[in-house]
Structure 1
């Protein structure tokens, strides 16, 4: 894995008096396909998210947080601290590897996957920075970067314990016949569907009946994870821990054991929309359960809790007459191509406005695909109710957590620690720009608000000034040609000399 433009950071140059005598616990909650517009604090009008909103009120909310346009590169960037537009991309296996896994063929499946997995030369991963500092590390849920991970990968990345799906395709179902616990297969015999009970889209009467046929769907995966997380907190309350919770919620296809009472009689919503909203509510409830457990164990004061999402919003509640897939302008019948016709919630009929009025969705380098919520709460260090306009990337978390735990080694990373921003210190360190790839080419966002967006199929380079145009409606490329050329050169260098590096060139 090449990181030719990476910054090498020494993570123990700060005065040791800045650090807590007692190392803080760390919990990273990583929502799946949670659009920034789905949270109450971001203006959501239908779904209330009181626990996540409370987390923001008790800590700091970042207004300019970015992540990748898709789950696999997002998780890889998070764990490695590298952006996804380098010449040599992340080693990502195809999904579905464990669908027919048994105890007898597990070794051969893992050997085949490990043959395709290049870990690079002595990199330091997210779990490792805590593990090397004496933390107990654990991961629950949709494990690692996709689309099929291995036990070797989990151990190499610094996880002492894990429980969940190693295959992201199977993780699209919520009733797994088996999960992996430290390589051991844990079976749930009352779940009998090989695809973990994955639902079908779009919504039709037939798909509704099949979704609510609960034969062979008795143990809900997120219940398993929450039980494991609460037990982990109970068992590790005496020692510093780093808990990573990459939840499945609210990634679809829609699957929920019951509709939340908030939506049962909500006439604004169709049945499938009520179920999707209930998945967002369940995620919020889980955040509340974790916070309640920290309070119960008297761990809240010295625990850093970070909440974010892997990428932008996605629609899982399409239905004839509402929101359609492929995404279509409900007024004109035109397909959104995110070039001449950009996706917007009001044009698409998205009742939730999950991207918060921005253009685009997941898989796009538009703001709706890469802007994510980012909240951090740490009562002993972070001032309650703080709001930050610092430009941050998901690949900053490696450097940030390394500084939090006092990691003494060097990190090869594209990220910059925002630890000082967390604790309210004014520092000069910030990104000049952040970079992400997509299926249509890379994009660059500068610290002062300029955005260069590529659409390589049309050899197009678009220029926006986000402080005055967050919806990306006014391309300024012809008006500011010098700025366009400057940012094109910067982006090309960040992409190791080729705009096609990243996901566009690897399709």
Structure 2
């Protein structure tokens, strides 16, 4: 038998490679991260709220997996640097995140993704420092504010240029959603998968809702804001449906830290409109924003990817924002940096229901560590001032979160060996980065 024509063989191989390339691109999911601000663990109906009506987020949870041991960080800037880099804030530096940090956007863009960031940036010291703004950190498009709204006013940037300002805090949730929809409809390259990181300003300090929602909930103005979030997130999800994107979009809904729910802060905060007490619910968790107790770090997290992430599932596996980068690396086909310590782990199998377990441990910044169900806090665990519990004795603490989620029974005196083990783990996590032997040049 004659040998096949080599030209035909080459052509067939080329067609095969092209088809494989198309298939690989199709296998890469779009990624939508909806990141709220200061939303408590107990603020949503699917997380136990009997006050706030959140039908769209409850539906999202029914269509995907709801995580009950998900950790962000305890305050805004550190939470964002951790999410972007896969590194704890003691390394990624929070509000002061240096330009040398590598974000998941910088890594996923060379893998063929279009990247967009809308909303609160908060890792360039709230200043227009170009090499630390979104376009220099891997995003193709940016609209939002570089800082928070503590003074009741925000200034916008579009890409690297100033883009106006507003003191109408009730307009922000709709505005950011409109910008996200505009990206999907008008700016998105249909030939590429996308990452859209939507980081809202609400429910931070000077909260407000639009006229459509103000005064409509049973939870005061804070409840109005929660319910507007639900509606606006639903509107964004409807656009995914409209554009035929839902089936191949990994949707992640979570928050940056626990809620302000401490009188020390609200009693002294000046300048907020009457009734705009930003008082969220931690549910069964202790304390809130700024605290190393669970109420400061443990947040709602809902993940949906139809046909891939199991629907109607509730998982208590340990999962965290620092895990997003390594997980995206697996899903999108890029490598995580090897020249620095990456604290996140690949959680793809957990998301896809192929594994029930998550992280083995999680570190609470300058405060303690969780290993399995045991949580350790050191005597001088760091609290932001408004979160300090004046009657808390400065002693080592050990809690079994399986039986004591509210962290009420300190087991440290009874379990010195466990305390020693967790103390040593905490110190090992606090170790420095490895030497930069193979720096990555991707900017």
- TM-score bracket, normalised by the shorter chain, equals 0.7 to 0.9
Aligned-residue Cα RMSD (Å) equals: 2.8
For 1:170-217, what per-residue CA distance to the aligned partner results, in whole angstroms no more than 9, with x for missing partners? Answer: x346654x41001111225xx4xxxx367xxxxxxxxxxxxxxxxxxx
Report what 1:133 is aligned to: 111
1:278 aligns with 2:224: yes
Give the CA deviation at 1:61: 1.1
Change over 3 Å in CA distance of 1:425–1:20 after alignment to 2 = farther
- Aligned partners of 2:399, 2:88: CA distance in 1, in Å? 21
1:142 aligns with 2:120: yes
Q: Which runs of 5+ in 2 are unaligned?
A: 1-20, 268-276, 382-392, 433-443
Give the CA deviation at 1:427: 7.5
Report what 1:332 is aligned to: none
**Paired residues of 2:208 and 2:214 also in contact (CA < 8 A):** no
Change over 3 Å in CA distance of 1:61–1:20 after alignment to 2 = farther
Give the CA deviation at 1:354: 0.3
Report what 1:393 is aligned to: 320
For 1:52-80, what per-residue CA distance to the aligned partner results, in whole angstroms no more than 9, with x for missing partners? Answer: 11111111111111121111111111111
- Aligned partners of 1:227, 1:19: CA distance in 2, in Å? 31
| Alignment coverage as a number of residue pairs | 386
- Aligned partners of 2:125, 2:135: CA distance in 1, in Å? 17
Please give the TM-score of this superposition, normalised by the length of structure 1.
0.70
Report what 1:431 is aligned to: 359
Normalized per residue, which structure has more helix?
2
**Paired residues of 2:222 and 2:279 also in contact (CA < 8 A):** no
- Aligned partners of 2:195, 2:113: CA distance in 1, in Å? 6
Give the CA deviation at 1:388: 1.8
Using the TM superposition, name which of 372-381 and 142-151 deviates more. 142-151
- Aligned partners of 1:183, 1:250: CA distance in 2, in Å? 25
Change over 3 Å in CA distance of 1:445–1:387 after alignment to 2 = same
1:452 aligns with 2:376: yes
- Aligned partners of 2:379, 2:206: CA distance in 1, in Å? 29
- Aligned partners of 1:402, 1:233: CA distance in 2, in Å? 22
- Aligned partners of 1:220, 1:391: CA distance in 2, in Å? 35
Q: Which runs of 5+ in 1 are unaligned?
A: 1-15, 94-116, 199-218, 267-272, 316-322, 329-349, 498-507
**Paired residues of 2:325 and 2:336 also in contact (CA < 8 A):** no
- Aligned partners of 2:22, 2:313: CA distance in 1, in Å? 23
Change over 3 Å in CA distance of 1:300–1:256 after alignment to 2 = same
Report what 1:241 is aligned to: 194
1:187 aligns with 2:158: no
Change over 3 Å in CA distance of 1:57–1:146 after alignment to 2 = farther
Give the CA deviation at 1:227: 1.7
Q: Secondary structure of 2:56's partner?
A: helix
Please give the TM-score of this superposition, normalised by the length of structure 2.
0.80
- Aligned partners of 2:22, 2:360: CA distance in 1, in Å? 29
1:252 aligns with 2:205: yes
- Aligned partners of 2:24, 2:362: CA distance in 1, in Å? 28
Give the CA deviation at 1:443: 1.8
Give the CA deviation at 1:228: 1.3
Give the CA deviation at 1:157: 1.7
After TM superposition, the structure 1 = structure 2 runs for residues 174-253 of structure 1, keeping only pairs within 5 Å, are 176=154, 178-187=155-164, 191=166, 196=167, 220-235=171-186, 236=188, 238=190, 239-253=192-206
Give the CA deviation at 1:436: 1.8
Report what 2:75 is aligned to: 70
After TM superposition, the structure 1 = structure 2 runs for residues 151-190 of structure 1, keeping only pairs within 5 Å, are 151-153=130-132, 154-168=134-148, 171-172=149-150, 176=154, 178-187=155-164
**Paired residues of 2:119 and 2:198 also in contact (CA < 8 A):** yes
- Aligned partners of 1:158, 1:353: CA distance in 2, in Å? 33
Give the CA deviation at 1:275: 1.5
Q: Secondary structure of 2:412's partner?
A: coil
- Aligned partners of 1:41, 1:456: CA distance in 2, in Å? 35
After superposing on structure 2, the runs of 4+ consecutive aligned residues of structure 1 that deviate more than 6 Å are 16-20, 350-353
Change over 3 Å in CA distance of 1:146–1:368 after alignment to 2 = farther
**Paired residues of 2:209 and 2:221 also in contact (CA < 8 A):** yes
For 1:112-169, what per-residue CA distance to the aligned partner results, in whole angstroms no more than 9, with x for missing partners? Answer: xxxxx6333xx5312123212111101111124254153322233211100011133x
After TM superposition, the structure 1 = structure 2 runs for residues 364-379 of structure 1, keeping only pairs within 5 Å, are 364-379=291-306
Report what 1:325 is aligned to: 264
Match of 2:253 among 307, 310, 320: 307
- Aligned partners of 1:242, 1:408: CA distance in 2, in Å? 17
Q: Secondary structure of 1:464's partner?
A: strand
Match of 1:59 among 42, 60, 64: 64
Report what 1:80 is aligned to: 85
Give the CA deviation at 1:19: 6.5
Give the CA deviation at 1:221: 2.9
- Aligned partners of 2:350, 2:377: CA distance in 1, in Å? 28
For 1:75-100, what per-residue CA distance to the aligned partner results, in whole angstroms no more than 9, with x for missing partners? Answer: 111111111345xx61634xxxxxxx
- Aligned partners of 1:376, 1:251: CA distance in 2, in Å? 23
- Aligned partners of 2:208, 2:296: CA distance in 1, in Å? 23
